[in-house]
Structure 1
Amino acid sequence: MAINFDKIEYLQYGNNRQRQAYSTLTNNKVMLKLEHFDPILVGTIPINIDIENSDLDIICCFTNKQEFQKSLITNFSDERNFTIGEQQSIDTLAIVANFVVDNFEIEIFGQSIPTKQQFAYRHLIVEHNLLNKHGEKFRQEIIKLKRQGHKTEPAFGLALGLTGDPYTELLKFEATDKSPNR
């Protein structure tokens, strides 16, 4: 099933946790406050492989680091457990803010890379396609691996029998849209 992940409206028709996420993000105007930075909700909740402690991951794109930081501080510094910092990722600097709203921990991750080109979005699309291809038993296997302490991409790597770095290996499915038979 094709989902437009660009906007969060699809969440209001999802499972209970997805509907709660939609309410939290909408009632607190989180996406609206980030709209200048092309926000997209990524991670496990959009594709229904979240576990009890999964957070809401929102990626953003900024052209001016200071403007993005200032916006995060202005809009979210009053939220519970607010932190903000810089993080050097593989190819670029990221600004990361964390806080808690309602019953959700929220992480906002901003880079100077367009959101649809960021690894988190690309992984979301690949993982969504793999879940659709392999079905419910596969989804439950991913959740089981996550509950055992595996991060999402390594869980997919284990479930698919991938060798090498799962973050890189999963991106190979973008071009081919073929996953190994299990």
Structure 2
Amino acid sequence: MFETIDHLYRGTTKQNLAYKAIKDLGILHDLSEFHPILCGTLPIGIDIERSDLDVIMEAYHLDAFEKKLRHLYGEKDHFIVKRNTIRGVPVVKANFYYKEFEFELFGQPEPVTEQNAYLHMIIEHAIMLEIPGIKEGVIKLKQQGIKTEPAFCKKLGLEGDPYKRLIDFGRNKGYI
């Protein structure tokens, strides 16, 4: 369901605007070799005013990936690219603004459907389908400054590292 952005076209006003910005920018086409998937809060309808558009990608050659990002988006407003290691995995992350959205492009040497951002989105979507009312509670916590995964864990009563606990919860429930 989330491997394309088609559902955004029929979604909320903000989802429709994001669909148009992504299409206009050409990210999914221009970076298709990296299997881009829009993840995060907007695709599942729990975005708040300051939510960005997270596009995750499968990038095994981070130098080439970074070079392509700089070439395609280096002239965009507030463009910045960083390298980091997250949970022992090297990553390249680029941020910039286009139209009314902040974009965050994220590449790491792992299939997109196995990356935490994708797994979290799938789990969060499944939780919202299963537990009526949790969506509104999570959005309220996010508006108070709590990040998405900690907000879900708080609503579910899960303690510990919220990023790991959410994945454990999703596996135990059979969501992933």
Normalised by the shorter chain, which TM-score bucket?
over 0.9
Partner of 2:167: 171
Amino acid at match of 1:13: R
Give the match for residue 18 of structure 2: 21
Name the amino acid aligned to 1:138.
I
1:11-38, Cα deviation, whole Å (9 max, x unpaired): 1111111111100000111211111101
Shift of 1:138: 1.1
CA distance in 2, matches of 1:103, 1:73: 20
Partner of 2:134: 138
| 1:117-172, Cα deviation, whole Å (9 max, x unpaired) | 1000000100000011112x211100000011100000001111111111111112
- Write the letter of the residue equivalent to 1:153: E
1:52-105 CA distance string (max 9 Å, x none): 000000000112111101110111001110000101101211000000000000
Identity of aligned residues (%): 38
1:178: Cα distance to partner? Answer: 6.5
Partner of 1:100: 97
List gaps (5 residues or longer) in structure 1.
Answer: none
1:44 matched residue in structure 2: 41
In the TM superposition, 1:13-162 aligns within 5 A as 13-135=10-132, 137-162=133-158
Paired residue type of 2:136: Q
Taking only aligned residues, the RMSD between alpha carbons, in angstroms, comes to: 1.2
| Corresponding letter in the other structure for 1:145 | L
TM-score, normalised on structure 2? Answer: 0.96
SS at match of 2:167: helix
Equivalent residue of 1:86, what SS?
Answer: strand
Amino acid at match of 1:11: L
SS of the residue corresponding to residue 68 of structure 1 reads helix
How far apart in 1 are the matches of 2:145 and 2:27? 29
TM-score of the two chains, using structure 1 as the length reference? 0.93
Matched residue SS, 1:27:
helix
Bigger mean CA deviation after superposition, 28-37 or 49-58: 28-37
Tell me the distance in 2 between the aligned counterparts of 1:66 and 1:107: 18
